[in-house]
Amino acid sequence: MGILDIIPKMALKRNMTKDDMVEFIDKELLPQVELEIGNWIHPRKRQGGYFVVTRQILCMVDFLGAVYSGYTKSEKKRDQKDGIERIAKTEKAKNYIAKFFKPNSTYNKVAIDNLYDIYRHGLVHVYQPRVLKFNSRRALQWFFYRGQKRFYKRMAVDTPQGKKVFRDVGYLQVVFKSPSKKYYFFPIGIDCLYKDFVNSVKLYRDKLKSTKSLQRRWRTTVNAICKPR
């Protein structure tokens, strides 16, 4: 095997043109989403994929949030002063979700905060989703399900304490009618998340094609990403 057989072509490169950006989304990012995430969704598996689908989507949202927001000169100067590079930030990712994930009624500020604080930060940093303090009496626990529906009047779920019945379960909505006296629950349907994510990428791509300021933000971010360290 020669050396050219093992050196990968770099999908991201410095000073990308508008056509380069759109081509990256269409020929690299979206196909990668289908290969790495879609195969957990289609063909439909009855179980599994909960952690890997959610983690991979939210890590890709980190990248999209970074290119959507850009990497400004003031950020770069501050990072150089601190000695810590922060090209992708939680705030940028949340801004991307608020702008491009639909419907806005589902992806409101509370839902976005819970989605990131419970699922993204938990799965990336501490293996499993985090449990948040909800109030003085109860915590907010994580909860995965499969299926395209965004609301269930009744849902039976296998738990460590046996099968429990939850009522009025809505995608990214706090479940207050909980069988637990210690927890409320914040459910995420990975099929719904996958569909909304793919649609958000296409919406962003279309906006990127016609918006020079977004193209400049992409360029500042990707140039920083591609800089040797």
45 pLDDT above the threshold of 80: no
Given pLDDT bands bounded at 50, 70 and 90, which one contains residue 136?
confident
Q: Is residue 220 part of a domain?
A: yes
Q: What's the Cα-to-Cα distance from 25 to each of 1, 158, 173, 183, 206, rounded to whole Å? A: 30, 38, 30, 40, 10
Question: Does 18 or 11 have the greater pLDDT score?
Answer: 18
91 pLDDT above the threshold of 80: yes
Given pLDDT bands bounded at 50, 70 and 90, which one contains residue 6?
very low
Q: What's the Cα-to-Cα distance from 186 to each of 102, 171, 174, 182, rounded to whole Å? A: 18, 8, 5, 14
Cα–Cα distance for residue pair 213/227, rounded to 1 Å: 21
135 pLDDT above the threshold of 60: yes
User: Residue 166 pairs with which residues in a beta bridge?
Assistant: 155
Given pLDDT bands bounded at 50, 70 and 90, which one contains residue 10?
low
Give me the pLDDT at residue 80, please. Answer: 87
Q: Is residue 110 part of a domain?
A: yes
Q: Is residue 215 part of a domain?
A: yes
The residues, any chain, with a CB within 8 Å of residue 214's CB and separated by 6 or more, are: 68, 207, 208
Given pLDDT bands bounded at 50, 70 and 90, which one contains residue 2?
very low
Q: What's the Cα-to-Cα distance from 32 to each of 24, 124, 146, rounded to whole Å? A: 11, 19, 21
Over residues 64-87, the mean pLDDT reads: 93
Given pLDDT bands bounded at 50, 70 and 90, which one contains residue 1?
very low
Q: Is residue 78 part of a domain?
A: yes
Over residues 80-108, the mean pLDDT reads: 95
Q: Is residue 56 part of a domain?
A: yes
Over residues 19-24, the mean pLDDT reads: 96
* Residue 115 lies in domain: 12-130+191-226
Secondary structure (3-state) at 168: strand
Cα–Cα distance for residue pair 125/107, rounded to 1 Å: 23
Q: Is residue 1 part of a domain?
A: no
Q: Give the chain's mean pLDDT.
A: 90
- Express as a percent the part of the chain with pLDDT over 70: 92
Q: Is residue 75 part of a domain?
A: yes
Cβ contact 175:163 at 8 Å: no
Note the pLDDT tens digit of each residue in 191-227.
999 999 999 999 999 999 999 999 999 999 999 999 8
- Express as a percent the part of the chain with pLDDT over 90: 71
Handedness of CA 45, 148, 167, 138 (dihedral sign): positive
Cα–Cα distance for residue pair 142/5, rounded to 1 Å: 44
Give me the pLDDT at residue 3, please. Answer: 45
Tokens at residue 124, please? 């990336």
Given pLDDT bands bounded at 50, 70 and 90, which one contains residue 9?
low
12 pLDDT above the threshold of 80: yes
Q: Is residue 173 part of a domain?
A: no
Number of domains present in the structure of the chain: 1
